[in-house]
Amino acid sequence: MPPRPPSPTLSLDLIARAHPQKIADDPSALALLTDADMAPDLAAMLARRLSPEGGLWVFAYGSLLWNPEFAFSEKRVGTVRGWHRRFCLLQHRFRGTPERPGLVLALERGGLCRGVAFRLDEADPHATLMPVWRREMKGKGYEARWLSVATEEGPLPALTFVANRSSERYTGRLSDEALADKIAAACGHLGPSAEYLFRTVEACADLGIRDRHLWTLQTLVAERLERRAADGPP
């Protein structure tokens, strides 16, 4: 019996071959909250801040790992218990379309999640957090929580973003095969949904974080992209 060929490896080259065409932005695909809409909830969240003397921290587990878009003075690899990362939020814009929505990560109840806690300037917490609050909350897919992050230097309180189960974007728990189908097919004006997965896997690997959910999905998505690249986009 001939040896079994190795599983496809997700790569930027494979993603580009499977999604060669650019996608135009469609602002109507996702209604976004304004800063004025979001400011009261951010103020209320800061009022519930845990242990302010411990510093102002944000816990990253997905795209914030590789594209934080905020200045930070320190970062620590840490673990949040009682939550795990999972692709469970549809993305009808940015890395998907209404016809072929992509998927992004959120935290779901149960298990644990290893990620990175970033320390931010706390001179003006509201102004400091508004960029990341805007990014995560404007699409109404997340809820914000203060969670304890266990690090080698000790526990610290950090703001993070968990799945909003009442959101229309919430998928519930789909099978890995169903998630891979959606991720492999989706592309928006910021690029393919598979690139989001690749960048997150790459960032986790660089940090020594191995997440079974991500590693399983990258293999399944690569298989689908290989077929798409060979057959041509539908």
- What is the tens place of the pLDDT at every residue in 175-214? 999 999 999 999 999 999 999 999 999 999 999 999 999 9
The answer to whether the CB of 89 falls within 8 A of the CB of 162 is: no
Alpha-carbon distances of 100 from 30, 83, 154, 228, rounded to whole Å = 13, 28, 43, 14
Q: Are 107 and 80 in contact (CB under 8 A)?
A: yes
Q: Name the CA dihedral angle for 43, 46, 48, 52, rounded to a multiple of 10 degrees.
A: -160
Q: pLDDT by residue (tens digit) across 3-26?
A: 555 555 899 999 999 999 999 999
Taking the C-alpha atoms of residue 194 and residue 127, their distance in angstroms, rounded to an integer, is: 32
DSSP at 54 = G
Pair type for strands 56-60 and 187-188: unpaired
- Asked whether residue 203 is domain-assigned, the answer is yes
- Domain membership of residue 212 (yes or no) is yes
The residue behind tokens 């673990």 is 79
Whether the predicted pLDDT of 28 surpasses 90: yes
pLDDT at 74: 95
- Please write the tens of the pLDDT for every residue from 86-135: 999 999 999 999 999 999 999 999 999 999 999 999 999 999 999 999 99
The residue range of the domain holding 18 is 12-228
The reply to whether 193 falls in a domain is: yes
Assess whether pLDDT exceeds 60 at residue 226: yes
Known catalytic residues are 136
Across the chain, what does the average pLDDT equal? 93
Q: What is the identity of the amino acid at 198?
A: F
233 in a domain, yes or no?
no
Q: From residue 144, give the alpha-carbon distance in Å to each of 79, 161, 228.
A: 17, 5, 37
pLDDT tens-place string over residues 144-167:
999 999 999 999 999 999 999 999
What is the model's pLDDT at position 20?
A: 95
- Which pLDDT score, from 0 to 100, does residue 51 have? 75
DSSP code of residue 226: H
We report the CATH number of the domain holding residue 176 as: 3.10.490.10
Residue 174 predicted with pLDDT over 70: yes
| Cα torsion through 205, 84, 116, 190, rounded to 10 | 70
Whether pLDDT at 233 is above 70: no
Q: Which two tokens stand for residue 117?
A: 């806690």
178 in any annotated domain: yes
Nearest to 29 by CA among 112, 131, 88, 97: 97
At residue 234, the pLDDT reads 65
Domain assignment of residue 136, yes or no: yes
Q: How many domains does the chain have?
A: 1
Kindly state whether residue 148 falls inside one of the protein's structural domains. Answer: yes
pLDDT band at 53 (very low <50, low <70, confident <90, very high): confident
Domain membership flag for residue 6: no
Res 5: pLDDT: 54
